[in-house]
Amino acid sequence: MASGWEPEGAVQEQIDASIKDAIKQARDAMPVGKSLTHCEKCDAEIPQARQEIMPGVRYCVNCQSIRDKEKTLFTGINRRGSKDSQLR
């Protein structure tokens, strides 16, 4: 059921667009190419098993964990048009 001036199915379209954006962002963040032998940030050796499991890996486990925690600070894209949702 549409509310206000929104066309029927507008909310579902917003949800679908948010999911597609999240999938694209995750795919873009995946490493590609040849793995490094040493961490790009701290120069620690990257174990051979990690290089084989994750082709294109560029960081050691510790540095990758830090990067992953920093990424979770992003809360997403505000697709709602209401003033209230933009003020949060």
At 76, the pLDDT band (50, 70, 90 cuts) reads low
Residue 45's DSSP bridge partners are: 38
32-46 pLDDT per residue, tens: 889 999 999 999 999
Stated as kind and residue range, the H or E segment containing 85 is helix 83-86
Range of the domain at 51: 31-71
**Residue 66 falls within a domain, yes or no?**
yes
Number of independent structural domains in the chain? 1
**Residue 76 falls within a domain, yes or no?**
no
Among residues of the chain, what percentage have pLDDT more than 90? Answer: 44
